[in-house]
Amino acid sequence: MQTAFILGASFFLLYTLQKVIEHRRAVASVGNFPGYRKLFNPWGKIAALIQILLGRGRSPVDVGYDEFQKNGWDAITEVSFLPGSSVFFLLADPAAIKEVTTYRARFPKPVEDYALLRFWGDNIVASEGEEWKRIRKIVAPAFSERNNKLVWDETVRIVLDLIDTVWKRAPEVTTDHAIEFTLPIALFVISVAGFGRRISWSDNSIIPLGYEMSFKEALNIISKDVGIKAFVPSWAMGLSKRWSRVRTAFDEIEKYMFEMVRLGQNAEKKEEQADLFTWLLDAAEEEDKLTNRELLANIFIFLLAGHETTAHTLFCFGLLALYPDEQERLYQQIRGIISTPGRIPIYEEMPRFTYSMAVFYETLRLLYACVTSIPKKAAEDTSLVIGNVEGKQRILPVPKGTKINIFAPAVHKNPRFWDDPHAFKPERFLGDWPKDAFIPFSQGPRACIGRRFFETEGIAILTILVSQYKITIKDEHQFADETFDERKARVLRSTPGLSTTPVRVPLTFTRRE
């Protein structure tokens, strides 16, 4: 018994010593660059699963640049002790980020981290190398000016329909959470401009015969709990009501998408159609183009990305309600362009709405970037030059295999590039501004292919609603004595998720005369 104990203790000590040596080597491999030394891998699957299941974790918006400020540099190294010494970098230096996103051979996308987005196969987000080039070559032409015009026209139609049929042009409309109308708008737009499928405000929750969920409900569940599908084994998906609903939502979305493919393949070809789905469907019928599984996979990506990111970014309404002077400035520019009462702006006028774009960009910068963390990895031993707020520079060794997370909230609040970075100042986007320090759509060859689609939709919604309604924070007696800072913190509070998700934005819309 004593011998066994001694052997066990000796083995444990040797194992611990080995891990300590590995850890010290890992720290030395990054030149002892400042950062965190942690027992467990904070970016591993176990940590991710805990955050997904328990909803814990500090919102990236709240973290911002704070940790980099404490670290003293625009990069943070994280070296974990278990299960094996792993090296991770967080980057907030625009010059280093530009190098990482430009040189794809040195810093490829870690496609293994995107397994949760490969349920139906390879797609433009979860692929790399030659496979990514092939898919992008097929998909990119779909995001054309014809499609952008369709996005604008349909978005305007959907918002006006909201005002006419749901709000009934009431002098005042109150919503307990802006997501009540922004999520449906985003869903309706991606449905019609993405897939040629119109959904009205009266039928968006209808469950068709043979289905268990509406299209809207299934997509909302997936956008919120996609991580559960990725990390929970298939055999365990029925162990809780929430997990079971996620499984059902994925089954339902697959049925909806297969039905869209079937109807599209049997429909007569119409030259005037400009939706993304029709383009992809046509591409799938050509030799050496998209397979049916790839078609399905890319449809899902467009559904998820278009629905989730647009809906959350439209919480710029909360910021405009908090800052009435900025809202008035936006309204005056819109009124100056739409001089005739009741006239509806057209797509060709979009470049003139410069303050709408400025408000939209400032919201992305300040709160709701489409992508908060952009993963890369080092394919070879290399290095990056890192700066800090004092204007100093330092070489950061980057060992082969290092995981790199480009942290957008920190880049967007880096005081080296943004004056008064925590303030809501849309005018900062009217003149010269640091484009390399603005990465809500990522950067380089892998930047978001749907950026123009996304911007067009957002500007149209913002412009139409602000032209017809004044937006304020909903009056609630329990918050009557709160200060402005308390109200701002309450309205803009967010949680981490697929994208940064606002908790509750209660608003009142008052009809303009």
Q: How far apart are alpha carbons 169 and 171 in whole angstroms?
A: 6
Alpha-carbon separation of residue 304 from 119, 145, 193, 447 (angstroms): 13, 22, 14, 17
Distance (Å, rounded) from C-alpha 412 to C-alpha 290? 37
pLDDT of 91 above 90: yes
Confidence at residue 462, expressed as pLDDT on a 0 to 100 scale: 92
Query: Residues with Cβ < 8 Å from 83, sequence gap 6 or more?
Result: 41, 44
**Residue 327 pLDDT > 90, yes or no?**
yes
% of the chain residues with pLDDT over 70: 81
Q: Considering the chain, what percentage of its residues have pLDDT values greater than 90? A: 36
Strand stretches in 27-169, DSSP E? 35-40, 75-82, 86-91
pTM for the model: 0.86
Please state, as a whole number, how many other Cβ atoms lie within 10 Å of the Cβ of residue 481. Answer: 7
**Which pLDDT tens digit goes with each residue over 24-73?**
776 677 778 888 877 666 555 555 554 545 444 445 455 678 889 988 99
In terms of Cα–Cα distance, which of 316, 351, 356, 318 is closest to 334? 356
If 0-12 CB within 10 Å is exposed, 13-18 middle and 19+ buried, where does residue 342 land? exposed
- pLDDT for res 198: 78
The residue to which tokens 């489409």 are assigned: 370
> Among 235-244, 280-289, 308-317, 342-351, which is the least confidently predicted range?
280-289
The token pair that represents 503 in the structure block:
């908790």
Please name which of 243, 3, 346, 280 lies closest in space to residue 136, comparing C-alpha atoms: 280
Overall average pLDDT of the 391-397 stretch: 92
- Asked whether the predicted pLDDT for residue 497 surpasses 80, the reply is no
- Per-residue pLDDT tens digits for 400-457: 989 999 999 899 999 999 999 999 999 999 989 999 999 988 888 888 888 888 899 9
Tens-place pLDDT, residues 137-176? 888 888 888 888 989 999 999 999 999 999 999 999 999 9
Contact predicate 282/433, CB 8 Å: no
Mean pLDDT of 321-330: 96
Q: CA-based Rg of the chain, rounded to a whole angstrom? A: 24
The pLDDT score that the predictor gives to residue 30 is 76
Query: Domain 31-511: what homologous superfamily?
Result: Cytochrome P450 (1.10.630.10)
pLDDT in tens, 345-386: 999 999 999 999 999 999 989 876 566 778 899 999 999 999
Domains of the chain: which residue ranges?
A: 31-511
What is the average pLDDT across 472-491? 92
CA distance 363 to 354: 14
Give ∠ CA 81-496-489 in degrees, rounded to 5.
Answer: 120
pLDDT-wise least confident of 18-22, 194-198, 259-263, 466-470: 18-22
Say which residue, 492 or 321, is predicted with more confidence. Answer: 321
Identify the top-confidence range among 84-93, 205-214, 406-415: 406-415
Look at residue 56 in the predicted model and tell me its pLDDT. 46
Whether 486 has a pLDDT exceeding 80, the answer reads yes
Query: In the predicted model, what is the mean pLDDT of the chain?
Result: 82
- Identify the band that residue 284 occupies on the pLDDT scale cut at 50, 70 and 90: low
How far apart CA 81 and CA 63 sit, in angstroms, is: 24
Q: What is the pLDDT of residue 289?
A: 72
Work out the average pLDDT over 333-344. Answer: 87
How far is residue 254's CA from residue 213's CA, in Å, rounded to a whole number? 12
| 54 membership: H or E segment, kind and range | helix 45-54
Which pairs from 201-204 meet CB under 8 Å and 24+ separation?
201/161, 201/162, 201/165, 201/166, 202/165
Checking if the pLDDT of 216 tops 70, the result is yes
**pLDDT exceeds cutoff 80 at 19:** no
pLDDT at 99 over 90: yes
In this model, does residue 188 exceed pLDDT 80?
Answer: yes
